[in-house]
Amino acid sequence: MFALVKRQRSELLLFITAIALLGFGDSVINATLNNYLDETFFITSLERSLLEFPRELPGFLVVFISAALFFLRSRRLAVFACLVSGAGFLLIAFFAPTLHILFVWIFMYSVGQHLLMPLVSSITMEMANKGQDGRRLGQVHSIRNMAAVTGSFVVFAGFKYLGLNFQVSFIIASFVFVVAAFFFYRLSPGDVQPPRLHLKLHKQYRLYYWLGILFGTRKQIFLTFAPWVLVTVYNKPTTVIATLFFIGGIAGIVFQPLLGRAIDQLGEKFVFMAEAVLLVMVCLGYGFAKDLLPYPAAFVVVSVCFVGDQLLMSVNMARATYLKKIAASPEHITPTLTMSLTIDHIFSISVALVGGMIWSRFGYQFVFLFGGLIACLNLISALFVVVPDPHKASPPHPEAGTA
């Protein structure tokens, strides 16, 4: 018994370390990529939206890539994903003379990132105690945020005081992904999901798929256009973007564990509805602050919206716990998370392209009006969420650790 508990804690520690490294690497990239694109290639808003095609295409392909790599157990697939992401940004650092070549390396990086998304959620829930999936997800996300805060601080201090440049930033991020791969490799291999599980749509999960579509479309609007507003409309440098990511990370350290507890205690339906209402306010702030307020006040409002949306991204935890509660079988969880990612990217890729055209034709305000419409659809859809009685939940996974 003592040996089992020791192994569980060791597995949890290795996993948390890997997650922290991913958070650090992602933060370095998020804080620098938009300014790198603007200062290196001088791209337009439409070109920035076109860049989302190679960045988001792996999200559509992820179910097929996962099926093709079925022979890799889940934690070994995480190793592969980290190495691919690291290689992508290492190549950007040394060999991205044109946008066309950059698109190839962005695609490579994104393959790894999209493979990791469902894996991280499913592994986290495997390591949760009964009825505490939200709590465990909140803890893991909080730790990732702590690491992201560190990454944002490194970018801020490096660019402001130490002469850090984009190339060195990308090398650092690449190295961190490789180290994360090492810690994933130290975990037990995990389970194998046959290809048929990855490539199958389950009718009983149709509301979950629809919620994933709405999340993907609204996520794409903010990932693509929210930082771009700060860079091109408000003319903010890398240090400001890094500072906002830093603030969001600090807030997330507190917010995400609270969100995890809210999911467990108040339920997914309440969390989905609250998210939708807040997103409408964020969209209005992003789209119209500059038209309604003096510049300094408008920038404050947009900054609050930027940080607030970072926090609301965490509500995706509730979608994972919702799936676990409605899953007909535990072996459905990872493949269904992956299939949902593929489905939502059919729409999110389109949203990035359409959003760029809307921005060019009508202005950025209308991009965020569209985001507000998505939030309203999310609110209506949340009304149909029904979660089974938690007392009938499945027993804890044998690798569940202590909270």
Q: Is the pLDDT of residue 117 over 60?
A: yes
Tell me the range of 78-92, 202-216, 241-255 where mean pLDDT is highest. 78-92
Half-sphere exposure of 381 (CA within 13 A, CB side): 20
Question: What gap in Å lies between CA 102 and CA 205, rounded to an integer?
Answer: 37
**Alpha carbon distances (Å) from 378 to 211, 219, 321, 374, 382:** 7, 12, 17, 6, 6
Question: What gap in Å lies between CA 298 and CA 186, rounded to an integer?
Answer: 48
Reported confidence tier of residue 391, pLDDT bands at 50, 70, 90: low
Question: What gap in Å lies between CA 210 and CA 117, rounded to an integer?
Answer: 18
More confident residue, 182 or 254: 182
Report yes or no: 138 and 260 within 8 Å, Cβ to Cβ. Answer: yes
* 38: phi then psi, degrees, rounded to nearest 5: -70, -45
Q: Residue 393: what pLDDT? A: 46
Reported confidence tier of residue 227, pLDDT bands at 50, 70, 90: confident
More confident residue, 319 or 130: 319
Q: Is the pLDDT of residue 204 over 70?
A: yes
* 18: phi then psi, degrees, rounded to nearest 5: -60, -40
Residue 344's CB is within 10 A of a number of other CB atoms, namely 26
Residue with tokens 């709590």: 135
Give the pLDDT mean for 389-396.
50
Q: What is the pLDDT of residues 73-111, one digit of tens each?
A: 888 999 999 999 999 999 999 998 888 898 899 999 999
Could you tell me the pTM of the whole model?
0.75
Question: What gap in Å lies between CA 391 and CA 43, rounded to an integer?
Answer: 54
Share of the chain above pLDDT 90, in %: 27
Reported confidence tier of residue 402, pLDDT bands at 50, 70, 90: very low
Question: What gap in Å lies between CA 141 and CA 321, rounded to an integer?
Answer: 14
Report yes or no: 198 and 70 within 8 Å, Cβ to Cβ. Answer: yes
Question: What gap in Å lies between CA 237 and CA 230, rounded to an integer?
Answer: 9
Crossing angle (nearest 10°) for helices 2-41 and 238-266: 140
Reported confidence tier of residue 401, pLDDT bands at 50, 70, 90: very low
Q: Is the pLDDT of residue 271 over 90?
A: yes
- What contacts 278, CB < 8 A, 6 or more positions away? 308, 312
Measured torsion, CA atoms of residues 190, 193, 195, 198, in degrees rounded to the nearest 10: -110
Residue with tokens 């392209």: 353
Question: What gap in Å lies between CA 94 and CA 167, rounded to an integer?
Answer: 7
Q: Residue 397: what pLDDT? A: 45
3-state SS string over 188-249? CCCCCCCHHHHCCCCHHHHHHHHHHHHHHHHHHHHHHHHHHHHHHHCCCCHHHHHHHHHHHH
Give the pLDDT mean for 340-350.
80
Please provide the DSSP assignment of 34-66 as one string. Answer: HHHHHHHH---HHHHHHTHHHHHHHHHHHHHHH
Give the pLDDT mean for 351-377.
86
Tell me the one-letter amino acid at 183.
Answer: F
Its CATH class, for the domain covering 2-386, is mainly alpha
Question: What gap in Å lies between CA 85 and CA 65, rounded to an integer?
Answer: 14
Q: Residue 105: what pLDDT? A: 92
